[in-house]
């Protein structure tokens, strides 16, 4: 075997047993979409993949991306700042999720599935990107707070379930509507969408900054 | 080259606080330096502080003039550091060559051609050229340790920190590993932390003993041996009973005429024919630990 490009090492040192999750989800939704592509419900299926399925998988992967690293102590001993370790590993997860999303959109085009209800091409990308970033930030920060990747994944799963089950409640009040991370996919034409998107994006950034601040205290994870 | 002043490390807060290091003062120059101590003495904490991974609670550490209390100082020290941790985690699906190459990238070796050449060199130094393209999941414990030392050497570090490097190695591999460290020590600082006295005795000209977070001995191995002068006994007995609890059995040899014990402690009254023997490094270390135990009992 030959030496590899740096990003390929990062990929190979992520948990390979979790990396197939986006692929499995992609195949599952692709199959259901194909079966229902002439049906009026096909939009819900496609929206479910973008707005709800991908962000969940992204959050779980983000939880394990840094701490499930057998050579973490060697990474800490290398002259590499914490932000760079974080960016490389979380960035690769985001790249994988982006690839899954874009290929699924191409697949929908091939099937002539109309996704215009998600809005403009930019709105369509925000429908999966914003909840993905939010749950990735939550998974990453949660794993660092609890000092274990499983804790971060459980936190992501809990928020995901609570938001989906309680979406009606979240939609009732101005404040909770802003905190509903799936609004971009759930009601893409809602008048409060822009405010929601700003809040969700800001929260995501804050969660990553918090995660970075925690990750700088390397001894917590040894 | 390394100056440690009043170094303290406390884990946790309040009633649950554990003091791992308590006012450690050390100066370490070029060559091999041994850090000896029982399990839980604080050796790994000290190694991690020197590697810039763990932050001290108090005191100062300067490595080649860089202050480890600052982020800039830490990064500068890490750039000149090779580190082999006690628990070496590897990626089972990478080959030895890929693993060392990846570690070289992490250490900032960005020129692929130069890196590839250096990776080949260090794998050769540790005798893994033949196995370089095999996946790590098929490696023995000794081979994994050798991969560990290869990654520590890949950036040609001026300071090499190895924490319990021979744990789990068979005798032949241990000797090979020790010889490798001695060869490497000619032009760099090597800090060898271990609880295996023999490893220090065979490699280091200077050592410190750490116990309960404090430096309890600092000097040449011969000085530590001298500390046990007049305290090491050889006794051959056919008696089935064990020697007194005041004595520590260093070794036992089953002979045709009975069992020969090597004991450390006060003169064994129960054996009239006990003979004083010249102390070794292990005897000196055991006597030091025994003395400390007696001192703490007296204080209690």
The residue among A43 and A130 whose pLDDT is bigger is A130
Cβ contact A212:B47 at 8 Å = no
Average pLDDT, whole number, for chain B? 89
Number of Cβ within 10 Å of residue B181's Cβ equals: 20
φ and ψ of B84, to 5 deg: -115, 105
| A27 pLDDT higher than 70 | yes
The 3-state DSSP class for residue B211 equals strand
Kindly calculate the radius of gyration of chain A based on its CA atoms and give it in whole angstroms.
18
Q: pLDDT band for position B16 (50/70/90)?
A: confident
Model confidence at B298: pLDDT above 80: no
Phi, psi (rounded to 5 degrees) for A201:
-65, -45
| Residue B136 pLDDT greater than 60, yes or no | yes
Q: Taking an 8 Å Cβ-Cβ cutoff, which residues of chain A contact chain B? A: 1, 3-4, 6, 9, 12-13, 16, 69-81, 217-219, 222
Average pLDDT estimate for B200-226: 93
CB contact under 8 A, B52 and A77: yes
Min Cα separation A6/chain B (Å)? 7
User: Do A91 and A170 touch, CB atoms closer than 8 A?
Assistant: no
pLDDT: which is higher, A154 or A46 = A154
Q: Which of A12, A69, A80 sits opposite B94 (nearest CB)?
A: A12
> ∠A183-A188-A191 over CA atoms, to 5°?
85
Check CB contact under 8 Å for B115 and A74.
no
Which pLDDT belongs to residue B81?
95
Average pLDDT estimate for B16-39: 93
**Cα gap A114→A40, rounded to integer Å:** 10
Strand partners, B237: B259
Average pLDDT on A196-214 reads 97
Decide: residue A39, CB within 10 A, 0-12 exposed, 13-18 middle, 19+ buried: exposed
Q: Looking at beta carbons, which pairs linking A150-155 to residues 24 or more positions away fall under 8 Å?
A: A150/A63, A151/A63, A152/A59, A152/A62, A152/A63, A152/A64, A152/A67, A153/A59, A153/A60, A153/A63, A153/A64, A155/A63
Rounded distance, CA B50 to CA B53, Å? Answer: 8
Q: What is the pLDDT of residue B300?
A: 46
Nearest alpha-carbon partner for B202 in B154, B251, B166, B226? B166
Q: Please choose, from the candidates A101, A198, B19, the residue with its C-alpha nearest in 3D space to the C-alpha of residue B9.
A: B19
Q: Among A67-71, B104-108, B118-122, B294-298, where is mean pLDDT lowest?
A: B294-298
Query: Could you tell me the pLDDT band of residue A44, with boundaries at 50, 70 and 90?
Result: confident
- The bridge status of strand B2-11 relative to strand B18-28 is antiparallel
Q: Over the stretch B59-118, which tens digit does the pLDDT of each residue have?
A: 999 999 999 999 999 999 999 999 999 889 999 999 999 999 999 999 999 899 999 999
Look up the pTM and report it.
0.88
pLDDT at residue B294, rounded to an integer: 60
Per the listing, tokens 């460290």 go with: B181
First-to-last C-alpha distance (Å) of chain B: 39
Q: What is the pLDDT of residue B241?
A: 65
Residue with tokens 């070796």: B109
pLDDT at A185 over 60: yes
Predicted local distance difference test score (pLDDT) of residue A189: 85
Contact A4 B101 (CB under 8 A): yes
User: Nearest Cα to A196, choosing from A159, A171, A162, A165?
Assistant: A171
**CB pair distance less than 8 Å for A76 and B75:** no
What distance in Å separates the CA atoms of residue B59 and residue B66, rounded to the nearest whole number?
Answer: 14
Question: How far apart are alpha carbons A135 and A51 in whole angstroms?
Answer: 11
Question: Can you give the pLDDT at residue A20?
Answer: 87
For chain A, the average pLDDT equals 91
User: Do residues B27 and B2 lie in contact, with contact meaning Cβ atoms separated by under 8 Å?
Assistant: yes
User: Considering chain A, what percentage of its residues have pLDDT values greater than 70?
Assistant: 98
Residue ranges of alpha helices (H) inside B42-111 are: 43-50, 71-79, 96-106
Contacts of A89 in chain B (CB under 8 A): none
Minimum mean pLDDT range among A97-106, A189-198, B22-31, B195-204: B195-204
What's the whole-number mean pLDDT along residues B134-148?
A: 91
Residue B247 near residue B264 (C-beta atoms within 8 A): yes
3-state secondary structure (DSSP) of residue B215: strand
Provide the shortest C-alpha distance from residue B146 to chain A (in Å): 15
| Residues B258-282 pLDDT 10s | 888 888 888 887 777 888 899 999 9
Surface of B (115-154) touching A: CB under 8 A: 115-116, 119, 133, 151
State the Cα angle at B160 between B154 and B162, rounded to 5°.
105
Residue A45 near residue A33, CB atoms below 8 Å? yes
pLDDT of B194 over the 90 cut: no
Q: Give B29-76 pLDDT, tens digit per residue.
A: 999 999 999 888 999 999 999 999 999 999 999 999 999 999 999 999
What is the reported pLDDT for B299? 46
Lowest mean pLDDT across A86-95, A150-159, B189-198:
B189-198
> Tell me, what's the ipTM?
0.88
Average pLDDT over residues B228-239: 85
């Amino acid at each position: 075997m030959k030496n590899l490009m740096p990003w390929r090492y990062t990929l190979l040192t992520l948990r390979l047993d979790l990396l197939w999750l986006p692929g499995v989800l992609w195949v599952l939704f692709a199959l259901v979409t194909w079966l229902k592509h002439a049906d009026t419900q096909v939009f819900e299926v496609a929206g479910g993949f973008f707005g709800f399925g991908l962000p969940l998988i992204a959050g779980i992967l983000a939880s394990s991306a840094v701490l499930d690293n057998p050579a973490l102590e060697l990474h800490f001993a290398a002259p590499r700042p914490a932000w760079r370790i974080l960016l490389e590993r979380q960035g690769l997860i985001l790249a994988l999720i982006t690839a899954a999303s874009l290929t699924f959109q191409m697949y929908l085009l091939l099937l002539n599935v109309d996704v215009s209800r998600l809005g403009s091409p930019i709105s369509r990308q925000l429908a999966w990107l914003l909840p993905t970033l939010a749950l990735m930030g939550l998974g990453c920060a949660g794993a660092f707070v609890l000092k274990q990747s499983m804790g971060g994944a459980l936190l992501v799963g809990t928020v995901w379930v609570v938001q989906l089950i309680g979406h009606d409640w979240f939609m009732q009040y101005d404040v909770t509507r802003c905190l509903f991370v799936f609004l971009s996919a759930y009601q893409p034409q809602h008048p409060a969408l822009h405010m929601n998107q700003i809040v969700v994006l800001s929260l995501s950034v804050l969660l990553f900054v918090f995660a970075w601040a925690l990750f700088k205290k390397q001894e917590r994870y040894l | 080259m390394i100056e440690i002043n009043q170094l303290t490390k406390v884990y946790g807060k309040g009633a649950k606080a554990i003091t791992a290091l308590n006012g450690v003062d050390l100066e370490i120059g070029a060559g091999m330096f041994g850090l000896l101590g029982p399990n839980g003495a604080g050796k790994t904490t000290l190694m991690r502080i020197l590697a810039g991974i763990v932050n001290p609670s108090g005191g100062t550490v300067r490595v080649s003039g860089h202050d480890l209390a600052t982020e800039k100082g830490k990064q500068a020290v890490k750039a000149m550091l090779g580190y082999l941790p006690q628990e070496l985690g590897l990626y089972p699906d990478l080959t030895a060559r890929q693993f060392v190459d990846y570690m070289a990238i992490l250490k900032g070796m960005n020129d692929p051609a130069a890196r590839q050449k250096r990776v080949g060199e260090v794998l050769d130094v540790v005798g893994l050229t033949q196995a370089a393209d095999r996946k790590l999941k098929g490696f023995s414990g000794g081979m994994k340790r050798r991969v560990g030392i290869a990654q520590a050497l890949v950036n040609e570090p001026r300071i090499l920190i190895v924490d319990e490097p021979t744990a789990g190695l068979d005798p032949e591999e241990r000797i090979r590993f020790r010889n490798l460290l001695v060869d490497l020590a000619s032009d760099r600082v090597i800090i060898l932390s271990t609880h295996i006295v023999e490893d220090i005795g065979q490699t280091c000209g200077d050592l410190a003993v750490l116990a309960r977070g404090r430096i309890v001995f600092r000097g040449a191995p011969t000085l530590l041996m001298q500390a046990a002068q007049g305290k090491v006994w050889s006794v051959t007995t056919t008696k089935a009973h064990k020697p007194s609890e005041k004595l520590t059995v260093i070794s036992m040899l089953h002979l045709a005429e009975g069992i020969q014990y090597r004991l450390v402690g006060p003169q064994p009254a129960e054996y009239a024919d006990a003979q004083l023997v010249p102390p070794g490094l292990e005897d000196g270390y055991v006597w030091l630990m025994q003395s400390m135990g007696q001192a703490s009992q007296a204080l209690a």
